[in-house]
A and B are shown apart, each in its own frame.
Chain A
Amino acid sequence: MLLKLSLAGMKGKLKDYFVLLSGLVMTISVFYMFQTLSWNTEFIKSNAMIRNIQLVFIVGSVLLSVVTILYMLYTNSFLLSLRQKQFGMYMMLGAKKKSIKKIMFVETMVIGCASLVIGITVGIGLAFIVGYLLAGQLNITLEGYQSFYLPAVLATFIFFIVVFLCTALINHIKLSRVQVLQLIYSDVHPDDMPIQKKKNSWLILLGLISLSLGYVSLIFMEKLREIGLFAAPTFTTLGTYLLFIGYLPVIVNRMQANKRWTSKGVTSFTFAQLNFRIQGLTKILATVAMLIALGAGAISAGLAFKNSASQMAEMMGAYDVIIKNPNAEEKALLKNIHFTEENQYRFKEDPDYTYYLRDDLENQRPLLLVSDGRKPKFKRVTEDLPEGKISLSEVKNPEVGQQLSDEWDRALWNLRTNYRVFKQMIVLDSETYHEIQGQEKLMYIGKSDKFTDYLHEWQGIDKLALEKDPILTADDLTSKYSFYNMYSSFTSGTMFMGFFLGIAFLAMMASCLMFKILSGASKDTSRYQMLRKIGVRRSALSTSIYKELFIIFLFPAMVGLAHVLIGMNMFSFIILNPYYRIWVPIIIFLIIYCLYYVITVKLYKQIVLPKE
């Protein structure tokens, strides 16, 4: 009988249960997605460029678990609040507390298990789709990546069963303590009154300190190593929560106190509503800020790794291509490329030496790469070459040798095509050069307008080079492209993880915030109805909702992005310039976030401002 009653009670709140269930499903599927990578140690080890990648995943798991548990506590108290009043009524009519508690327990577990099954299924689907799309987009093959990964399924299952059991237990205890009357009036009392906000200087101070510690560890990650890897997430997270809890209500309070803003039309209500809510929102907003930081951070890192291959290649040398004796096929490929500089040097070789002609070098002074560590810069060789007639026997003598200037030494050193053959390079005047026996050859070097625009051509040229010289293997080539290729194959795995986790975290962020806002909506409905009654235009209420949610969305976005901007420092030891084009991921994030804001507003409006 009671079961029937409880089912009947659920029916009336289908919308709320839908919000609850979708929130849970989202959390579980994101958790699962994370686990597919986290437990697949082989995949992450063989695909990551970061030595401590395992540690990154452990830290990530801990953070995600904390966020998940917090989120679950919210969903649970929401579940309880959905039922409290009804339970109170049943008890007043004579139902025993024991059976009420049983119903609540069963309900929690049923909802938990249902969302777990759906959530893992959705998670597998999401992991597959995201993996598939990313692999396609990034042009990489993912060896060893599995969207259905049994250890991940088990881990997710166990984690959530434990969490659901705990929440069921919490409900049990809560119900044991309360009186019937408290249950009946449960929707009137608890947060009907804005708590008087005392400025909590201690919280704010502690928050500032730990946030600074977190930022310092992020910036000096390379020096702090493992300590940094633990300190950065711990302190940053702690600082974020403390600041949101301590400072956000103060800010909103100040905004409300500004009568010039708040005494116009319905704005007074907007800020009152905001002030009223903010107390209950601080933790969730801090969570959202962290998730934004993680999500946008992971995507930015992914993009940074993607860009880093071409940057690294640029740092390899001034010239994009170096070909010994270009043949017809190679020349055909070169035709497709727009070069900003092309040079050709005659040379002869014998088994031990390579001889360059001084006039050629003098007439086409090559460029040298002078890097400042971040950005490639170029400089033309200006130093002098050996002058006058050069005695061959003298320069061949290892004791005396040929004293080339530093710049020329490096410039000639760059005129290699592979690691296999090392020959000393000698620069000769034309007279001596012509005395050398052997066939004259050409060394061709070229610098294109943009290396990454001709990847296809470079690849072809490398292939031809190997065909020309059968003793060489791909690993022997010193070409810019071979380096680029090798580096990208390193980065693609890391990049994939970045994007994958970024998407997962942003999805979690979306569901967190949406859940919190929508789950409170039914309670707000009566307020909006009342305002309608006393004559506030629908459009004014709509504006009020847009404003209120905008402010709510604004704070976590600002803090989250600040974390990202500081946090990218962390990668500076592995990526040349982690901030290269950082605005791309940030703009992508902002677009998604705005869309998501509009959707939330629309959904919220549907609940609190029903059509007339």
Chain B
Amino acid sequence: MGSPVVEVRNVQKVYGKKGGNQFKALNDVTFSMQEGEFVGIMGPSGSGKTTLLNVISTLDQVTSGEIKIDNVDITDMGQDELSDFRSQKLGFIFQDFNLLENMTIAENIALPLYLQGTPAKNIDAKVVTVAKRLGIEELLQKYPAEISGGQKQRSAAARALVHEPTVILGDEPTGALDSKNATSLLETMKDLNDRQNVSIMMVTHDAYSASYCQRIIFIQDGKLHKEIHRSATRELFYKEILDVLAQLGTKNA
């Protein structure tokens, strides 16, 4: 395994103003993720998963603690630096697709390349390559309103990949997909991870999706609860995840 790409140290996130109605969504979270890892984050609803992903993806600021991505501390960067950082190092797959309806799929996918100032002549080739990998090359000239949910999600994944980011972050990327589309997206992500060594961090509710990961971090009430590694087949891992979830469930009850 390589060096750590994401390092989260003693991160706290408090919502609400001081003196007002405060809520600690993340409480002293520490973990790291190695280059080329495929990490899942699970936990009950309201446990802080989205919050964690948001602070890692620089969309939200931590209250205290430190986050390093690719050995760069992102907690004390300015807004503009953060923007540039996001556009170069990170790839996002959001739950609600977040494609721009006013651009074709091809333009949507090419957006991160435009933002990085990639020369126009190289853009098309890159877009086509990544679209082929995700099986959407036929859709490139269509608009988001003309394609299905699964196709949208794969387009969003293509956009997240096209500029070869250091880490891909997904918040329930399969949440809005049926099982067939979900599987195809997960297979793609796994494939990327295996073959291109892309680091992926994904929040999910669903044990089946989670079973594609190598490691799963469970959080509860804003704290790390447990961490499990996949050691054998996916089916076994799946069962193991269900066990942990059941355990979490009974605790909650």
A residues lining the B interface (CB < 8 Å): 189, 192-194, 259-260, 263-269, 272-273, 275-277, 526-527, 530-540, 612
A472 to B120, CA, bound (A): 85
A259 to B106, CA, bound (A): 13
Name the contact of B143 in the complex, choosing from A193, A267, A531, A536 (C-beta under 8 A).
Answer: A193
Contact residues of B between 67 and 115, Cβ < 8 Å to A? 79-80, 82-88, 90, 92, 94, 98, 100-103, 107, 110-112, 114-115
Please list 9 pairs of residues, one from A and one from B, whose beta carbons are closer than 8 Å in the complex, sorted by A's number. Answer: A265-B115, A267-B114, A268-B110, A275-B102, A276-B103, A534-B112, A535-B88, A536-B83, A537-B84
- With both chains docked as a complex, state the minimum distance between the C-beta of B149 and any C-beta of chain A, in angstroms: 12
- With both chains docked as a complex, state the minimum distance between the C-beta of B220 and any C-beta of chain A, in angstroms: 27
A269: chain B residues at CB < 8 Å are 100, 103, 111, 114
A194: chain B residues at CB < 8 Å are 102, 143
Q: B120 and A192: CB pair below 8 A?
A: no
Name the contact of A535 in the complex, choosing from B84, B144, B145 (C-beta under 8 A).
Answer: B84
Q: B102 and A533: CB pair below 8 A?
A: no
A612 to B61, CA, bound (A): 11
A400 to B227, CA, bound (A): 130
B residues lining the A interface (CB < 8 Å): 57, 59, 79-80, 82-88, 90, 92, 94, 98, 100-103, 107, 110-112, 114-115, 117, 120, 123, 143-146, 159
Known: A193-B143, A193-B146; 11 extra A-B contacts, CB below 8 A, are: A192-B143, A264-B117, A265-B114, A269-B114, A272-B100, A273-B102, A533-B92, A533-B94, A534-B112, A535-B88, A537-B80
Given A193-B146, A259-B120, does the pair A527, B80 have CB atoms closer than 8 Å?
A: no
Q: A612 and B145: CB pair below 8 A?
A: no
The closest CB in chain A to the CB of B61 belongs to: A612
- With both chains docked as a complex, state the minimum distance between the C-beta of A314 and any C-beta of chain B, in angstroms: 58
Q: B59 and A536: CB pair below 8 A?
A: no
Q: A276 and B80: CB pair below 8 A?
A: no
Q: A272 and B107: CB pair below 8 A?
A: yes
A264: chain B residues at CB < 8 Å are 114, 117
B159: chain A residues at CB < 8 Å are 534
A33 to B82, CA, bound (A): 52
A193 to B143, CA, bound (A): 6
- With both chains docked as a complex, state the minimum distance between the C-beta of B98 and any C-beta of chain A, in angstroms: 5
Instruction: Determine which residue in A266, A530, A538, A612 has the highest number of CB atoms from chain B within 10 A of its CB, and name it.
Output: A530
Given A533-B92, A537-B84, does the pair A193, B112 have CB atoms closer than 8 Å?
A: no
B123: chain A residues at CB < 8 Å are 263
Interface of B is mostly: helix
A532: chain B residues at CB < 8 Å are 83
A259 to B110, CA, bound (A): 12
- With both chains docked as a complex, state the minimum distance between the C-beta of B194 and any C-beta of chain A, in angstroms: 25
The closest CB in chain A to the CB of B104 belongs to: A272
Name the contact of A527 in the complex, choosing from B94, B102, B112, B114 (C-beta under 8 A).
Answer: B102
Q: A272 and B120: CB pair below 8 A?
A: no
The closest CB in chain B to the CB of A268 belongs to: B114
Q: A266 and B102: CB pair below 8 A?
A: no
A259 to B114, CA, bound (A): 11
Name the contact of B114 in the complex, choosing from A263, A273, A538, A539 (C-beta under 8 A).
Answer: A263
A268: chain B residues at CB < 8 Å are 103, 107, 110-111, 114
Instruction: Determine which residue in B57, B115, B146 has the highest number of CB atoms from chain A within 10 A of its CB, and name it.
Output: B115
- With both chains docked as a complex, state the minimum distance between the C-beta of B126 and any C-beta of chain A, in angstroms: 12
A539: chain B residues at CB < 8 Å are 80
Given A192-B145, A268-B107, A272-B102, does the pair A535, B79 have CB atoms closer than 8 Å?
A: no
A265: chain B residues at CB < 8 Å are 114-115, 117
A266 to B111, CA, bound (A): 8
- With both chains docked as a complex, state the minimum distance between the C-beta of B250 and any C-beta of chain A, in angstroms: 35
The closest CB in chain B to the CB of A263 belongs to: B120
- With both chains docked as a complex, state the minimum distance between the C-beta of B27 and any C-beta of chain A, in angstroms: 25
Q: B117 and A276: CB pair below 8 A?
A: no
A540 to B85, CA, bound (A): 14
Given A533-B92, A535-B87, does the pair A266, B114 have CB atoms closer than 8 Å?
A: yes
Given A263-B123, A533-B59, does the pair A276, B101 have CB atoms closer than 8 Å?
A: yes
A192 to B104, CA, bound (A): 11
Q: A192 and B101: CB pair below 8 A?
A: yes
Q: A537 and B110: CB pair below 8 A?
A: no
A194 to B86, CA, bound (A): 29
A275 to B101, CA, bound (A): 12
Q: B117 and A192: CB pair below 8 A?
A: no
B86: chain A residues at CB < 8 Å are 533-535
A533: chain B residues at CB < 8 Å are 57, 59, 86, 92, 94, 98
A272: chain B residues at CB < 8 Å are 100, 102-103, 107
The closest CB in chain A to the CB of B100 belongs to: A527
A275 to B90, CA, bound (A): 28
The 5 closest A-B pairs by CB, nearest first: A535-B87, A535-B86, A276-B102, A193-B145, A263-B120
The closest CB in chain B to the CB of A273 belongs to: B102
- With both chains docked as a complex, state the minimum distance between the C-beta of A372 and any C-beta of chain B, in angstroms: 57
A276 to B120, CA, bound (A): 22
A531: chain B residues at CB < 8 Å are 100
Instruction: Determine which residue in A266, A268, A277, A532 has the highest number of CB atoms from chain B within 10 A of its CB, and name it.
Output: A268
- With both chains docked as a complex, state the minimum distance between the C-beta of A67 and any C-beta of chain B, in angstroms: 28
A607 to B94, CA, bound (A): 23
Name the contact of B80 in the complex, choosing from A192, A263, A267, A538 (C-beta under 8 A).
Answer: A538
Instruction: Determine which residue in A264, A266, A267 has the highest number of CB atoms from chain B within 10 A of its CB, and name it.
Output: A264
The closest CB in chain A to the CB of B114 belongs to: A268
Instruction: Determine which residue in A192, A260, A276, A537 has the highest number of CB atoms from chain B within 10 A of its CB, and name it.
Output: A537
Instruction: Determine which residue in A193, A267, A533, A540 has the highest number of CB atoms from chain B within 10 A of its CB, and name it.
Output: A533
A275 to B79, CA, bound (A): 29
B101: chain A residues at CB < 8 Å are 192-193, 276, 527
- With both chains docked as a complex, state the minimum distance between the C-beta of A345 and any C-beta of chain B, in angstroms: 80
A194 to B102, CA, bound (A): 6
A539 to B90, CA, bound (A): 20
A275 to B104, CA, bound (A): 12
B114: chain A residues at CB < 8 Å are 263-269
- With both chains docked as a complex, state the minimum distance between the C-beta of B97 and any C-beta of chain A, in angstroms: 10
Name the contact of A538 in the complex, choosing from B79, B103, B111, B115 (C-beta under 8 A).
Answer: B79
Q: B90 and A535: CB pair below 8 A?
A: yes
Given A266-B115, A272-B102, does the pair A192, B144 have CB atoms closer than 8 Å?
A: yes
A33 to B123, CA, bound (A): 56
A268 to B110, CA, bound (A): 9
A277: chain B residues at CB < 8 Å are 102
B145: chain A residues at CB < 8 Å are 189, 192-193
Given A260-B120, A263-B114, A264-B117, does the pair A537, B100 have CB atoms closer than 8 Å?
A: no
The closest CB in chain B to the CB of A537 belongs to: B83
A269 to B99, CA, bound (A): 12
B80: chain A residues at CB < 8 Å are 537-539
- With both chains docked as a complex, state the minimum distance between the C-beta of B107 and any C-beta of chain A, in angstroms: 6
B110: chain A residues at CB < 8 Å are 263, 268
The closest CB in chain B to the CB of A191 belongs to: B101
B57: chain A residues at CB < 8 Å are 533
- With both chains docked as a complex, state the minimum distance between the C-beta of A265 and any C-beta of chain B, in angstroms: 6
A14 to B196, CA, bound (A): 50
Instruction: Determine which residue in A193, A272, A534, A540 has the highest number of CB atoms from chain B within 10 A of its CB, and name it.
Output: A534
Q: A538 and B83: CB pair below 8 A?
A: yes
- With both chains docked as a complex, state the minimum distance between the C-beta of B91 and any C-beta of chain A, in angstroms: 8
A535 to B112, CA, bound (A): 8
Q: A535 and B143: CB pair below 8 A?
A: no
A266 to B107, CA, bound (A): 11
Q: B120 and A535: CB pair below 8 A?
A: no
- With both chains docked as a complex, state the minimum distance between the C-beta of A104 and any C-beta of chain B, in angstroms: 27
